[in-house]
Amino acid sequence: MSWKMLALKKSPWVFHVNTGACNNCDIEIVNCLTPKFDVERFGIKLVGSPRHADALLVTGAVTRQALPRLREVYLQIPKPCVVFVIGACACGTGIFHTGYHIEGPVDKVIREIDPEAIIAYVPGCPPKPEAIISGVLQALSIL
Amino acid sequence: MNQQELNNKLAQIKDRLIDIEQKASNRIFLLCEAQNNFDVNKFLFEDVGARFVIATGIDGEDCFEVLYHYSYDQTGCMITIKAFIRDREQPKIQSIAPFLPGAEWIEREIHDLFGIDFPGHPDMRRLILADDWPQGVYPLRKDTSRTKPPTSAFVPGKACGQLGRTIEGVESSREVKE
């Protein structure tokens, strides 16, 4: 394992992007950061810039307007980085599958610019904070 | 004004309407043609004193419909003005935004999604469609193709340029480096 990956797993700083979610997944993510669930005990911290981040938390099916912005944010994150896809819409566009504004699930959009991207999925509508924490820690443990 | 007085008041504009449909004691539809819509809205808002809630656009079988929903809070009655636009080629209906600024954004949204023109609207810019969505494609019309218009090519570092926002005299750090 490279020292970069070791450092990433020790304390993953995350940047949160909403690419067209209904805000429910975002509420659950914010819930993870509150004292009740307190993900900072795992070294997970929300940061304000993708350039400071080790991981990307994406919620929502990718809309046409969000498409270039999500790609731009992904390119600005120092590599290696992990993309956590949170919620049913982000994992597979969910009920918005046939929408005129939907450009596809998050993994497809990111793989188009980086086929080697590390992507982890947390399905659910919305996933419970326990599920998000469990998914993130399980993904980090197998890297 | 109780419900009976409200009904009598609404009967004053009967000559501008096709019909008044009372589906329930607190649910009234006023059906009118597009050219009478402005007067009926003005009457309901200014003379009756109803509160504007929202508007709806519908692609009907042979016409477009714009529904203006009002609430008359003293009796809890919902009143909907249903305006029919018979011309499908160049659908237009006079904007009510000049006397009712709360209707500005919903009229812009209906314009985006159905291509219905609102003459008299103070600011008819695009509201909710993406910036690179092609002109003249109205996604909620029933005869619009289901295939999505292709997106513009992705250029790294230029995604924010596609927002159309530029700050004069300020160059981004990326451009200075290059």
Give residue-wise pLDDT tens across range B70-118.
999 999 999 999 999 998 889 999 999 999 999 999 999 999 999 999 9
Chain B nearest-CA distance from A104, in A, is 12
Percent of chain B with pLDDT over 90: 47
Indicate if the pLDDT at residue B178 is higher than 50.
Answer: no
Report the half-sphere exposure of A76 (CA within 13 A, side-chain side): 20
Indicate the DSSP class of residue A137: H
Number of folded domains in chain A? 1
- As for the ipTM of the complex, it is 0.75
DSSP state of B44: I
pLDDT at B159: 66
Tokens of B78: 């919902």
Instruction: Judge whether A10 lies within some domain.
Output: no
Which residues in chain A touch residue B156, judged by CB atoms under 8 angstroms apart?
71-72, 75
CATH code, residues B3-177: 3.30.460.80
User: Would you call A75 an interface residue with chain B, using a CB distance cutoff of 8 Å?
Assistant: yes
Q: Which residue of B has its CA nearest to A104?
A: B148
CA distance A39 to A36: 9
Q: What is the pLDDT of residue B174?
A: 42
Percent of chain B topping pLDDT 70: 89
pLDDT at B175 over 70: no
Place of tokens 């009976």: B4
Q: Which domain holds residue A128?
A: 15-142
Q: How far apart are CA B104 and CA A126, in angstroms?
A: 34
Give the Cβ contact number of residue A96 at 10 Å. Answer: 17
Domain with A20 in it: what CATH number?
3.40.50.12280
Q: Domain residues of chain B, as ranges?
A: 3-177
Mean pLDDT in order along chain A per 10 residues (143 residues):
82 92 92 90 90 92 91 90 92 89 91 90 92 90 83
Do B115 and B137 form a contact (C-beta atoms < 8 A)? no
A84 in any annotated domain: yes
B168 pLDDT more than 80: no
